[in-house]
Amino acid sequence: MAQRQTLRRRLCYNTPSNRRKISKTPGGRLVYLYQKKPGTCARCGDCKLKLRGLTFARPHKLSTLSKRHKTVSRSHGGVRCASCLKNRILRAFLIEETKIITQVMKAQKQIKA
């Protein structure tokens, strides 16, 4: 017959925060070990893909980690993925180019008139 287990905490419901597994102690007793919830990874703000190079962790654990675990050494690192950032830079460049072209066209019209 299996040994009966008693919970080590007050919470008795089978919730995600109350997950546990059975472990055998060196004394031969079976006890519950509570498992922490797995952390989720940061995602790109545009395409919602998982960002590579960042640590998976729960929010409180993230607050204790150093900066190198939470970001990538690039502009918008840790917020946008590389391909979305490339698209944003390209779009900004093209918008600036169109502004310059419209100014040049306006100047040419004034010269002709």
Tokens of 98: 């169109």
pLDDT at 17: 93
Q: Residue 105's closest CA among 30, 113, 14, 10? A: 113
DSSP H/E element including 21: strand 20-24
- How far apart CA 83 and CA 48 sit, in angstroms, is 12
Residue 54 confidence (pLDDT): 93
pLDDT exceeds cutoff 70 at 1: no
Q: Mean pLDDT for the chain?
A: 93
Please check the confidence at residue 86 and state whether its pLDDT lies above 80.
yes
Q: CB within 8 A of 46, min separation 6: which ones? A: 80, 81, 84, 87, 88
Q: What is the pLDDT of residues 11-51, one digit of tens each?
A: 999 999 999 999 999 999 999 999 999 999 999 999 999 99
Q: Which of 68, 45, 73, 74 is nearest to 55 (CA)?
A: 68
User: What share of the chain in percent tops pLDDT 90?
Assistant: 92
Q: In this structure, what are the phi and psi dihedrals at residue 20, rounded to the nearest 5 degrees?
A: -150, 160
